[in-house]
Amino acid sequence: MSQRFKGCEIIQSTRASSVHRAGWVMVTPWKIIENGYVRVENNRVVEVGTSVFGTHGIDHGAGVLMPGFVNAHLHLELSALKGAVSFDKGFQAWVGELLVKRGALGESALKNAARTGVDQVMASGTLGVGDISTLGITRELVVNSGLSGVWFQEMLGSTPGPFEFAGDARGKLNCSLAGHAPHTSSPELLARLKERATANRLPFSIHVAESSDESRFLETGRGDWADFLTERAIDFSSWPLPAVSPVDYLDRLGILDPLTVAVHLLRVNDRDIDILKGRGVKTVVCPRSNRNLHKRLPDIKRLLDRGLTPGLGTDSLASNDSLSIFDEMAFVGGNYPGIAPSDILAMATVYGAGALGLAERMGTLLPGRAGDFLYLPVAASTSETLLENIIRHE
């Protein structure tokens, strides 16, 4: 780890057994130990507790030992487009400009920027990712990065492409499938991708209820998106339209279950949230990207209040300023005064891990979790101020 962000240190235990101490240990956002220790054996957390005088081990300082962050939704392959695509002309114009500029850059420029993106992700304390790739060019990079999580091959249109499910050799990173969105992919394609991911017991990711065009098309069968498909001779007459909402539409297709990750949820009502909760669907929100592209924020408070546990994602550098979960947490802290700091930390750690099927591996420092975690030099006098100071850490 050569690059560090905000003094964030990634601790990776190489010895068979080690003990790490600090002023605070955040086991979970709801279980915080003052003057605590973490005992690691064979790269697994085996014990956490309160340090007693004379406890040997590595004293990291007055700050906090905590789980690594999870960036539950990003597109590393768009990293070269940072600052290159205008947000001002609306979402469809943004997509069009993105496709043109992505095509003009070429594969090696996209890959080089993605590599820098991985460095930035890790330097800001993220140890788990849900990376979405349409071009398929970041697979090797992510598999060999040392990050945990899921690399998703995203598909759209109506015909599934070839795909192999193999992940990394150490079992930290899985490769699975993603459908782009309910309005850009045929029902048959979505069902096929979902079926293949489920057969491998892996998460299936999809953008849901993000744009107004998506909602209007699925809710009426008409609008700009219907015209767009018609102009391209794409026949959507067999799609089960109109639906009550994008969430209702995916429910009709039978693809909402605990292995589906629904991303964005910018346009959902209580009924949609209850469907997602009832089906056990995993959820991820990307509020800074939504603010930039759609001038609108997801109602995260409502998602939480109705029992969902959304992970936090940055989306890509084509729609966001950074791939740092610190920045995403600070944004949530500043724009959602009703959300408790413990919930914000949970979204950035345990909820994101749960969304990607990583809850047994990471997201907390409970016994059994991986022995790599973070030390942050954040001072605090109480556990409440500790959480606030992590979110606001500069």
Q: Enumerate binding residues for Zn ion (CB under 5 A).
A: 315
Whichever of 67 and 313 has its CB closer to Zn ion, that residue is 313
Closest separation in Å from C-beta 265 to Zn ion: 12
Sign of torsion, CA 129 130 132 136?
Answer: positive
Residue 190 CA to residue 177 CA, distance in Å, equals 10
Q: How far is the CB of 292 from Zn ion (least distance, A)?
A: 12
CA dihedral (257, 258, 260, 265) in degrees, to 10, reads: 90
Residue nearest to Zn ion (CB): 315
For residue 232, with 0-12 CB atoms within 10 Å meaning exposed, 13-18 middle and 19 or more buried, which class applies? Answer: exposed
Q: Is 151 or 375 the residue whose CB approaches Zn ion more closely?
A: 151
**Residue number with CB closer to Zn ion (219 or 315):** 315
d(CA 387, CA 376): 12
Tokens of 92: 């469809």
Quote the least distance from Cβ 132 to Zn ion, whole Å.
6
Ordered DSSP codes for 226-268: HHHHHHTT---TTS--S-SSHHHHHHHHT--STTEEEEE--S-
**Where are the alpha helices (H) located in 254-359, listed in sequence order?**
270-279, 287-294, 300-305, 325-335, 341-348, 350-355
- C-beta of 288: minimal distance to Zn ion in Å? 12
Three-class SS string for 188-230? Answer: HHHHHHHHHHHHCCCCEEEEECCCHHHHHHHHHCCCHHHHHHH
* CB of 66 or CB of 293, closer to Zn ion: 293
Give CA–CA dist 296/314, Å, rounded.
Answer: 15
Nearer to Zn ion, 129 or 365 (CB): 129
Q: Please identify, using beta-carbon distances, which residue of 176 and 383 lies nearer to Zn ion.
A: 176
Q: Residue 321: what are its φ and ψ, rounded to 5°?
A: -85, -25
Residue (of 11, 125, 148, 61) closest to 393 by Cα position:
125
Question: How far from 177 is each of 41, 138, 343, CA to CA, in Å?
Answer: 34, 14, 29
Closest separation between CB of residue 294 and Zn ion, Å?
12
Q: What is the CA radius of gyration of the chain?
A: 21
What minimum distance in Å lies between the beta carbon of 130 and Zn ion? 10
State how far Cα 378 lies from the chain centre: 24
Q: Name the residue nearer to Zn ion (CB basis): 299 or 315.
A: 315
Closest separation between CB of residue 206 and Zn ion, Å? 10
The backbone torsions φ and ψ at residue 178, rounded to the nearest 5 degrees and listed phi first, read -135, 140
If the CB atoms of residues 286 and 387 are measured against Zn ion, the closer one turns out to be 286
Please name which of 10, 74, 70 lies closest in space to residue 310, comparing C-alpha atoms: 70
Q: Cis omega before residue 242 (within 30°)?
A: yes
Which two structure tokens, joined as six digits, stand for 269? Answer: 């009502």
Q: Please state the closest distance from residue 78 (CB atom) to Zn ion, in A.
A: 9
Closer by beta carbon to Zn ion, 315 or else 328: 315
Which residue, 315 or 343, has its beta carbon nearer to Zn ion? 315
Shortest CB 263 distance to Zn ion, Å: 6
- Report the nearest approach of Zn ion to the CB of residue 210 (Å): 8
